[in-house]
A = this chain, B = another copy of it.
Amino acid sequence: MKKYVEDYHTGDIFELGEYIPRKKEIIDFAKKYDPFPFHLDELEAEKTIFKGLISSGWMTALIWLGMMHKEFWSHETTMGSPGHEEMVWPIPVRPDDVLKGKVEILESRISKSKPEIGFVRYQAILQNQKKEDVFRTTSTIIMKSRPK
């Protein structure tokens, strides 16, 4: 469904579904993008402060991004993002964690200078099966406003 800036309101909450990262995916991602020992190898990871394999925070971010594409973004009206104000990984993600995502709208407004577009600011969170936040980010998307 096509969504416009006007369809989002402060306090709206959207569920983003579930994702379970597996060991192989964590290791393959680390090999390609983020080869720290604690992302790459179970035995090496045991020797670190993490006491076991953990996901690259960037892979965790891309898991969230995948959820956003599946459950949240409207591809016809979203015009990208200038960036993220904050992106944190409070607790590591481990193989077979059950991650659930959620987005809360912080602000939604039409541009004063260009009323055909607007800005939707949100906070997104991924939690594991213990309800611990494993990923949290605040960002703004630029989006079309509803045609008059």
Contact = CB atoms under 8 A, between A and B. Distances in A.
B87 A87 contact: yes
Contacts of A38: 80
Interface residues of A, number: 33
A83 B89 contact: yes
Contacts of A43: none
Contacts of A58: 58, 61-62, 65
A130 to B, nearest CB: 19
A10 interface: no
Interface of A: 33-38, 48-50, 57-58, 61-62, 65-66, 69, 73, 75, 78-90, 92, 136
